[in-house]
Structure 1
Amino acid sequence: MPTLITARASRTATARLGLQSLSFGRSRKRLLWLLPTFVLVNFFFFRSGIGIGDVVPPEDAASPNEGTRRHLLADGQPDCVRPSIEHFPGDFMTQEQRQQGGVVLHFIIVIYLCGILGYICDDYFVPSLEIIADTLKVPSDVAGATFMAIGTSAPELFSSIIGSFITEGDIGVGTIVGSAVFNILGVTGVAGIAVWNNDVPIDWFPITRDCVMYAVTVVALIGVISNNIVEWYEALILILMFLAYIVVLFFNAHIEYYSLVKVEALRKKWFEHSDAAADKEQDDEATPLVKSFQERQEFATTQRRDSAVSADLERRRRDSILVSESVCKLEEQEEQESVWYMPREGSVGQVLWVLFWPVRFLLHFTVPDCRKESLRRWYSLTFILSVVWIGGVSYLTVWMVTIIGYTIGIPDSVAGITVLAAGTSVPEVFSSVIVARNGLGNMAICNLLGSNIFDVLFCLGVPWFLKAVFASRSHEVFINSAAMTYTSVTLLSTVVLLFGTFVITRWKLNYKVGFACLIMYIIFITLACMYELNVFGDFNPPTCA
């Protein structure tokens, strides 16, 4: 009978090893299938237009969507939208000068402004938020989803506010959607390439949790903008969903414990069923020993269940130690930097120090650096002045991007999806690469997914709600481009593909994941821009002459 138990254990182990080797053998083939599948799914959406938000001339309008388009453009107006450049001050160049090469200078200005945004967020805004969270005794998960998300997504938030209240165009929602794709695929790709051959482990539970929450968020966004009109109560629903997300994070340890118990039960049930048929005739003979063996197994399982929360706390403690070490290294480096002394090492660092010295000089005298112990008590003033700086620089950035789009002849949504989305995601790129290189794969990916959830639910929900309630007689916010609905739909495919990539690579972050994500990002951006430019149909109204 002991031989019987040993044989059963051997068969179970062999079955597990067989499944693992089979999965490993097919992983590369499955990874290769992701790219053509992604292209085919997106091309299907492009060609079919997924049946929502099609644009037709007003005189032929009969369906609710067509009436919406006529309402959007106002009765008696031509089927076009006013250029957003009219809502900004005049440029220092004429349209002819920009078309002859002056637009390159505007690109350089945008890059410089995005660098300023990253510097303000990293050195002033985020440290003030960390002190606020510490002062209020906010749990780390909740602080990460609120204060830290506000810090890294401040440019997107202000871009959305400017797009809703000033330009009244799609540059805000385009920036949010574009930065969401850039975060999931672009930043993950850069982080994967940065770690190269070092397989950074990824825990399945936090990634699964945030992927599910993000998928629900995208579905809600699709439902809100599907008819190109955002009602005030729809914006309120987005805000309430964000509050629900914070509640989920607050009870994260309990949810993870429950999930681990369920997974353990399903795993045990699966292997019991796999052995039941082979051992059915011998169960009566081996009942005493088998029961004893099962009792020991159940006791071990119970211990594993009881240690789920402890394991979560241990993982957080380990991550916290790594974060502290990384922060200490960064603080030591920052202590060596000064507004008055050029760094001695690295020619690139010296060039950047010279280029950004005027901004560093102004910030040194206008915003207290609460990272210094002597100025720590002024964190509230640092927070307020950082918000003022970020708002002003974001306004200049959106202004320059609007001029670039008008000069090249592309819609606001395209400018938001491409240039502005990548520019405002600069903080996420640097932070994710740093934490990934330090072995914090969970923090790198969860930060991106959490930032996207914050962008969609808060950075769109709050400006839309304020606009609909206080600045619109009809209590509605209009979306010009019907193509934004398609772009939002494809966000679902990106998060599914990201999750599938980690499953195939056995929850590892490396250069394979990096290259796969970057290729998918290039494909997505190419098709999205073609869709916004009406290559596949009339989805985006032209700009009025």
Structure 2
Amino acid sequence: MALILYCLALIISFYLLAEVSDRYFVVSLDKIAERLKMSHEMAGATLMAIGSSAPELFVAIISLIRAGDHAAIGVGTIVGSALFNILVIIGASAVVRSARLMWQPVVRDFIFYALSVAALFTVLRDGLITWVESLFLIIFYGGYLLTVMNWKRLFNHADGDLMDDGYEEPALRGWKKIFIPLHFVLRKLFPNPKRYILTFMFSIGAIAFLCWVLVESAIGISLILEIPEVVIALTVLAIGTSIPDMVSSVIVARQGRGGMAVSNAVGSNIFDILIGLGFPWLIITVVEDKPILTHAEGLNESVILLFASVALIFITFVISRWRVNKKLGYTLIFIYAAYLVREIVGLYY
């Protein structure tokens, strides 16, 4: 009975995370970016990255501050989410609509992403996280932001893809109708979207609460099924927390903004690794005045796979002259499916 309740809590939390992030949090951040007169690239690298990566960030924070030794949940969620983003989100975006990418921002983001993965591998190698390593990750993200701000001075390119104004978000249909009561509750709880500052604050609170439910449910399922927490994080939590990224990327890909979909996936991964892990680690190591034991040595193989997938996709983009199509999309999704099967089979053999 407890297992069924934990699974229901996971499903409902995943759905609510997608709705809160997509309908309220990201929208309020977009309004804040307009108010601050931020460029599309700067807003995407900062506010939009925070919006789409908030679930992973909160899972990492909660897994560290919760009583017990659960640091591997946060690390596993972010590594698994990074794999999902780079393979499934880019793959699904390519499947729904072919596109030609602007190479300049793609090259920039892939270079920083590869360096971020290399930094993560180095930090996790001994299973201990110090405040110096945490601070380095955060400073590195600051270097990424400075590069984003000045990249167009070095390489002149357009600010974004062309928009297809004819696209409309689909209404709730079929199985989604079972979530109508949840939509009613959200509409009653959240303020008018025009009050975007208040909406932003409500969204933060809702995401934090839902991520707490996710962590507690993941720990409960792990104990009942006797599955390592890191495996639950790499698979179930990683996919669930990536749903907001998946929804927004597929929508913009259908609108003909394939470049934005790719940038969202890669940019979110950069934020996840450098801030989603670096910031909680820095706070805990400074407050407790001792290194964090992650028990995440087993993630090294997944991190290596992540780096290999980045190299594969980048080389494919170069060969295809920065075009993405259905063939590439299905290939990336197949690779991720094979990875999931391998992780699950590895539990029993």
Question: Of 56, 59, 80, which aligns to 1:156?
Answer: 56
CA–CA separation in structure 2 for the residues paired with 1:203 and 1:140: 14
CA–CA separation in structure 2 for the residues paired with 1:492 and 1:479: 20
So what's the TM-score if we normalise by structure 1?
0.60
- 1:482 corresponds to: 297
Question: Of 245, 250, 270, which aligns to 2:144?
Answer: 245
Letter in structure 2 aligned against 1:523: A
Q: Decide whether aligned partners of structure 1 residues 136 and 184 sit closer, same or farther in structure 2, where only a CA change above 3 A counts.
A: same
- 2:132 corresponds to: 233
Q: Secondary structure at the match of 2:292?
A: strand
- 2:176 corresponds to: 352
- 2:210 corresponds to: 393
CA–CA separation in structure 2 for the residues paired with 1:469 and 1:201: 45
Contact preservation (8 Å) 2:76, 2:296 = no
Structure 2 residue 256 is the aligned partner of structure 1 residue 439:
yes
CA–CA separation in structure 1 for the residues paired with 2:183 and 2:135: 39
1:251-400 matches, cutoff 5 A: 251-256=150-155, 309=156, 312=157, 315-316=158-159, 319=161, 321-322=162-163, 325=165, 329-330=168-169, 347-348=173-174, 351-353=175-177, 355-370=178-193, 376=194, 378-400=195-217
- 1:500 corresponds to: 315
- 2:244 corresponds to: 427
1:37-52 matches, cutoff 5 A: none
Deviation string, structure 1 residues 205-249 (Cα, Å, up to 9, x no partner): 222211111000011111111110000111011011111111110
CA–CA separation in structure 1 for the residues paired with 2:188 and 2:95: 38
Structure 2 residue 271 is the aligned partner of structure 1 residue 454:
yes
What is the alpha-carbon root mean square deviation over aligned residues?
2.1
When structure 1 is superposed on structure 2, of 451-460 and 105-114 the one drifting more is 105-114
**1:499 shift after superposition:** 1.1
Q: Percent identity?
A: 36
Letter in structure 2 aligned against 1:363: L
Contact preservation (8 Å) 1:201, 1:439 = no
Deviation string, structure 1 residues 295-346 (Cα, Å, up to 9, x no partner): xxxxxxxxxxxxxx3xx2xx336x2x506x268x44xx7xxxxxxxxx7xx7
Larger radius of gyration: 1
Question: Of 153, 168, 174, which aligns to 2:69?
Answer: 168
**1:480 shift after superposition:** 1.0
Structure 2 residue 307 is the aligned partner of structure 1 residue 516:
no
Contact preservation (8 Å) 1:201, 1:507 = yes
1:175-214 matches, cutoff 5 A: 175-195=77-97, 199-214=98-113
Deviation string, structure 1 residues 180-204 (Cα, Å, up to 9, x no partner): 0000011122222222xxx311222
So what's the TM-score if we normalise by structure 2?
0.93
CA–CA separation in structure 2 for the residues paired with 1:464 and 1:326: 44
Q: Secondary structure at the match of 2:256?
A: coil
- 1:217 corresponds to: 116
**1:393 shift after superposition:** 1.0
CA–CA separation in structure 2 for the residues paired with 1:512 and 1:364: 40
- 2:232 corresponds to: 415
The number of aligned residues is 347
Q: Secondary structure at the match of 2:126?
A: coil
**1:359 shift after superposition:** 2.6
- 2:283 corresponds to: 466
Contact preservation (8 Å) 2:222, 2:229 = yes
**1:408 shift after superposition:** 2.0
Q: Secondary structure at the match of 1:158?
A: helix
CA–CA separation in structure 2 for the residues paired with 1:156 and 1:347: 28
Q: Decide whether aligned partners of structure 1 residues 134 and 415 sit closer, same or farther in structure 2, where only a CA change above 3 A counts.
A: same
CA–CA separation in structure 2 for the residues paired with 1:494 and 1:524: 11
CA–CA separation in structure 2 for the residues paired with 1:412 and 1:243: 31
1:25-40 matches, cutoff 5 A: none
**1:347 shift after superposition:** 4.4
Contact preservation (8 Å) 2:49, 2:271 = yes
**1:503 shift after superposition:** 2.6
CA–CA separation in structure 2 for the residues paired with 1:534 and 1:115: 30
**1:360 shift after superposition:** 2.3
**1:490 shift after superposition:** 2.2
Contact preservation (8 Å) 1:179, 1:425 = yes
- 2:25 corresponds to: 125
**1:352 shift after superposition:** 2.2
Structure 2 residue 220 is the aligned partner of structure 1 residue 403:
yes
Contact preservation (8 Å) 2:141, 2:275 = yes
- 1:146 corresponds to: 46
Letter in structure 1 aligned against 2:100: P
1:51-66 matches, cutoff 5 A: none
Q: Secondary structure at the match of 2:37?
A: coil
Q: Decide whether aligned partners of structure 1 residues 528 and 501 sit closer, same or farther in structure 2, where only a CA change above 3 A counts.
A: farther
